[in-house]
Amino acid sequence: MGDSGGAFCTLGIGYAAPSGMFKVVRLTTTFSHGHQPEHTCELLALEDGARGWRRMQSPPIGDYFGLHKNSMVTIDGMLYFLYSLSPPRVGGDYVLRLDLETEQWKRSIKAPKMRSTMPRMVELNGTLCMVHSEGRRTKNACTTIWLLSDLAKGTWVKAYVIPMPHAVDLVIPLRMMRHDGKLMCYCLHNDRASPTLQVYDPLNGICTQLPDLPGNNLSDVGFCNLHLECYIRST
């Protein structure tokens, strides 16, 4: 960034409850030489997009924090951001919570203790979920998956430990199949650019690969939980 500093921006999108209004939240960290980083927060209501972005209360964090990439989740009108305090790994990981209806920040919750420097936060069947790898590229490599069991107490339960072959860097859950407990996941590989879709069976510890994703897919994979019918007109 140099002496002039710079800025990093993170976006999250979700619906407010009970109004159902879709909103986009933009968190920006601005760096300037000789000064503490400044955190700002802006919000855009999609149904009222003509009014543009408006400034809102910044996250209630006094120290500098770093947001984790690809770790923004919306569940039941609450927008979650995974962040770490600085210096990295000293203070551990925490979860910011923003009520999209009231546009008020709620008390942060402590994430489970994770050994990885690059954890992920996702939504799994309506539950907040933490994902991280251990022993990557070793014979004991695995992905550990935690589920938030009690929001008020900040209690996490270790739900899955998925063995990983040498070529897999991380297994990210997409959906839990209710009738048999199997997990539909996508796997990030170190020997190919595109991820693969797989189904993990916790009863036998075996992953079964599904048909390949479309070519040149270099980004993340996920289920779309936005009500797109609200924005698409029938012809």
CA distance 75 to 192: 32
pTM of the full structure: 0.82
Report residue 61 as tokens.
């964090």
Instruction: Give the β-pairing of 54-56 and 65-75.
Output: unpaired
Please, what sign has the CA dihedral across residues 114, 115, 118, 122? negative
Report domain extents, the chain. Answer: 1-111
CA 98 to each of CA 13, 55, 82, 130, 151: distance values in angstroms, whole numbers, following the listed order: 11, 14, 12, 18, 14
28 burial (CB, 10 Å; 0-12 / 13-18 / 19+) is middle
Residue 12 has pLDDT above 80, yes or no: yes
Are 197 and 210 within 8 A, CB to CB? yes
pLDDT of the residue at 110: 92
Single out the residue of 74, 40, 81 nearest to residue 57, CA to CA: 40
Higher pLDDT, 132 or 191: 132
DSSP 115-181: --SS-EEEEETTEEEEEEEESTTSTT-EEEEEEEEETTTTEEEEEEEEE--TTEEEEEEEEE-TTT-
Confidence at residue 165, expressed as pLDDT on a 0 to 100 scale: 84
The model's pLDDT over 36-95, given as tens digits with 9 standing for 90+, comes to: 778 889 999 987 666 789 999 988 876 667 788 778 999 999 999 998 876 655 568 899
Out of 100-109, 160-169, 203-212, pick the least confident. 203-212
